């Protein structure tokens, strides 16, 4: 049985922290699916096509990584792609508290899917998509925080 993991998020935009977590996690699984989520309660700055396209470009030479957009419950998407694992990146203790609540809910919805947490490398722990969007909105340079493939 293949070890398939979903790394879900809105990735609006993709940051170097996201890329770091993905690069460090990919060897742990047979396949890592980056699930770019459509969140009905959020109005993204970048389209789903932009976000999935950036990931496809960044990881074009990595055969163990796939990229897909999805809508709805993360555990339902896991079942659709046969993923037994959900990967979440953690920067701070506050991230863990939030992510654990989601992981607990997912476990109650689908007990067979495990959530794994990977801490962010210290170099990227202060980077968040929210902060990057704020810098972009105010005309700042975010090239230190996002992969070169991310065009804004």
CA–CA separation, 27 vs 98, rounded Å? 26
Reply yes or no on whether 18 is catalytic.
Answer: yes
Q: Catalytic one among 42, 60, 137, 151?
A: 42
Count of CB atoms situated within 10 Å of the CB of 102:
14
Q: 17 near 127, Cβ under 8 Å?
A: yes
Q: 6 near 35, Cβ under 8 Å?
A: yes
CA–CA separation, 136 vs 112, rounded Å? 40
Q: Catalytic one among 31, 56, 79, 129?
A: 129
3-class secondary structure, 37? strand
Which residues have a Cβ under 8 Å from the Cβ of 96 and sit 6 or more positions away?
A: 90, 117
CA–CA separation, 84 vs 64, rounded Å? 16
C-alpha radius of gyration, the chain, whole number: 15
Reply yes or no on whether 129 is catalytic.
Answer: yes
Q: Catalytic one among 51, 60, 91, 107?
A: 91
- Positions marked active-site: 18, 42, 91, 129
């Amino acid at each position: 049985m293949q070890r398939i993991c979903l790394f879900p998020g809105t990735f609006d935009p993709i940051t170097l922290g996201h890329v770091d977590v993905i690069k460090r996690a990919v060897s742990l699984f047979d396949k890592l699916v980056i699930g770019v989520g459509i969140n009905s309660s959020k109005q993204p700055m970048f389209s789903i096509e932009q976000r999935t396209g950036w990931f496809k470009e960044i990881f074009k030479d990595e055969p163990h990584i796939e990229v897909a957009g999805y809508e709805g419950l993360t555990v339902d998407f896991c079942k659709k792609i046969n993923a037994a694992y959900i990967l979440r990146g953690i920067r701070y203790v506050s991230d863990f508290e939030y992510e654990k609540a989601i992981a607990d809910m997912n476990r109650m919805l689908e007990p067979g899917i495990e959530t794994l947490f990977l801490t962010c490398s210290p170099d990227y722990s202060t980077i968040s998509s929210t902060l990057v969007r704020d810098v972009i909105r105010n005309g700042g340079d975010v090239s230190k925080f996002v992969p070169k493939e991310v065009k804004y």
